[in-house]
A and B are shown apart, each in its own frame.
Chain A
Amino acid sequence: MRQALQESGVLDETRHAAEEHTSLALAALEAAQPEPAAGRELRALSDSLLQRSR
């Protein structure tokens, strides 16, 4: 089932959903506190988590 889900494109769709919410979180953070370093740290953390899921 795991392989079938992956081959049907579900893994990519789910990753995309996670990336969308990460982007929304970053946008809200930047709007709340325009501190580039905080955004960069969060993006690095998000990229690291997404990399682990690949």
Chain B
Amino acid sequence: MPPHTVLAVRDRLDHACLRLTHGQHLDLAFEQSPIVTESAYLEMVAGKTAALLEGATAAGSLIADAPAPRVAQFAGFGLHLGLAFQILDDILGIWGEPSVTGKPSGDDLIQRKKSLPVLKGLAPRPNSPSSGRAVT
């Protein structure tokens, strides 16, 4: 592998590690925060699951000697795939079948995890004077 490719891949991995650190920091901070917005949630996920996939798809295309625009496209592919994966995981964490997920039913609710469905349920509604939907 040419030296410039090695450096480019290492740069990508370093970037992914930094984002993972930031994402993990946000995840821990959310545990103590009573209010988390959807945009903050997406920032956190983009710094965890999605950062890993983005780094992997970008690194693969760099090693394949793809031009910069194509590397950016593969990075975007990994990023959005990671976001979609995490959102689906959030759905399965509440409504998934234990036989499929390997986790107890509703495990994320029991652990009071601030997953996307919970944040959407608690978000203010346009037609409601209260702060969120009735989620009891």
Contact = CB atoms under 8 A, between A and B. Distances in A.
A21 to B, nearest CB: 4
A42 B117 CA distance: 24
Interface in A33-54: 33, 42, 46, 49-50, 52-53
B109 A10 contact: no
- Which of B91, B94, B96 neighbours the largest number of chain A CB atoms within 10 Å of its CB? B91
B134 interface: yes
Nearest to A19: B84
A13 B125 CA distance: 13
A25 B66 CA distance: 18
Interface string A2-39: 10111010110111011101101100110111000000
Contacts of B118: 5
Contact of A24 (B76, B94, B116): B76
Interface residues of A, number: 29
B91 A11 contact: yes
If over half of B's interface residues share one DSSP class (helix, strand or loop), that class is named, otherwise mixed; here it is helix
B73 A14 contact: no
Contacts of B61: 32
Contacts of A5: 94, 117-118, 121, 135
A32 B91 contact: no
Interface string B83-100: 110011011101111001
Contacts of B95: 2, 6, 11, 53
B11 to A, nearest CB: 19
Max chain A C-beta neighbours (<10 A), residue from B78, B80, B135 = B80
A52 to B, nearest CB: 6
Contacts of B80: 21-22, 24-25, 28
A52 B77 contact: no
Given A25-B78, A52-B97, A52-B100, 18 more contacts: A4-B134, A4-B136, A5-B135, A8-B135, A11-B91, A11-B117, A19-B84, A21-B81, A21-B83, A22-B81, A24-B76, A28-B73, A32-B61, A32-B66, A32-B77, A33-B70, A53-B88, A53-B95
